[in-house]
Every structure is written in structure tokens, then in C-alpha cells.
Amino acid sequence: MNYPPSVRRLIESLRQLPSIGPRSAERLALHILRADPALAENLAASVSGARRTVRPCECCGFYAEAPRCEICAAADREAGVVCVVEQPADVVNFEKSGAFKGRYHVLGGSLSPLDDIGPEELNIAKLLARVRDEQLREVVIALNTDVKGETTTLYLARELRQLGVKVTRLATGISIGTSLEYADSVTLSHALGGRKEV
């Protein structure tokens, strides 16, 4: 004898989420059953609501509820500069820092031949079109610093330079607030190579 079918279905659905194991799924399901019915209704409505309402911005690929996202539609962003990131979450991270005033372009991942992800699988053609259409003067590449991110950065830099646009990338070096003791040797050599006069 086990939970009734509808409870088992709920546990199974929750297990599909990342980093939710069988015990967590059970605990979440029991909470949903025990809590105020409004919690379950809100959760159900927001899950299907978000999935139906949100689509990729037709310009940059960030989340949007209209054809264009709020950032592409905003009049007060610096024109001519685009920051290329892998995921929508990276856009929000940059926005939290407040350090970037231009617009973004979300690739949706990075090149990965082993996973059959080539340039066509990423939001790259639209980026190249934007260089011309928006007469961009600078593209800042801000991808992850792992092997796939590096490969993608080099690929993009080559393609973009052919269009005559200035291509830059984020500085690499020691993270702010970390101890040198824990910096890995690759980061250290990057930081040393990029040293500046004080």
C-alpha cells in the first residue's frame, strides 16, 4: 500500500526537477498537500502561466512576454553595444551588477561538438544580423570560462571581426573578495599576464 495515485503522480512530477531526489520530492508533495490550498493553486497557475506566457525575445533571446523583451524595448539603453551571454540568468546577473548599460544577446548555450551543438543550434545568426542592422560598434563576449565557452568565444570573435565590429571579452583574473591562497594556477597566470600599474 502506498500513497494514492494522485499523490504518487505529484511526487513523480516533482522528481523531474533538477536536484530534487525521491525524498525531497516526497517532502515537497506532502507540504503541498498540507499547506493552504492557495499555495497549490498559485504554484500550479504560475508554473503553467510562466510556461505559456514567456517566449524568447525575437531580438536578443532573453525571456519576454511581448515580441521584444523589456531590455530590447527600453529606450534608455546605450545603443551600439551588445553583451553576448550563454543563458537568460546571466542577463539578470549583469543587470544586478548595474555595470552594463547596453543590450544583450543570449546564445542559449555554447558550442559543444560532442553534444551535437554547432553554430546553427545557437542564437548566432541573429547576432551577426544585429551587427549590421543595429550598426553595433562593440560586442562584449561574456561566456563561461570553461573549454566550451572559450571555444565559442574564439569562434564568435573570428566571425564578428569579419563584420568590422570591435570585439571585446571580460577581463580574467582574481575574483574580488577571494584569498590568493585559493586561486588556481590558470587564474593566477591570467591575472599576472593582465597586471596593471597602480
For a second copy, give the closer residue by CB, 23 or 195.
Answer: 23
- Cβ of residue 71: shortest distance to a second copy, in angstroms? 5
d(CA 151, CA 107) in angstroms, rounded, equals 14
- Cβ of residue 196: shortest distance to a second copy, in angstroms? 31
- Cβ of residue 154: shortest distance to a second copy, in angstroms? 26
**Residues at the contact surface with a second copy, assessed by CB under 8 A:** 1-7, 9-10, 12-14, 16-20, 24, 26-33, 35, 37, 39-51, 53-54, 63-65, 69-71, 74, 87-89, 91-92, 95
Closest CA to 163 of 143, 142, 134: 134
Of all helices (H) and strands (E), which one includes residue 11? helix 5-15
Q: SS3 of 112, please?
A: strand
CB 111, CB 119: distance < 8 Å: yes
For a second copy, give the closer residue by CB, 16 or 185.
Answer: 16
Of all helices (H) and strands (E), which one includes residue 81? strand 81-85
CB 103, CB 77: distance < 8 Å: yes
- Cβ of residue 4: shortest distance to a second copy, in angstroms? 5
For a second copy, give the closer residue by CB, 33 or 125.
Answer: 33
For a second copy, give the closer residue by CB, 14 or 140.
Answer: 14
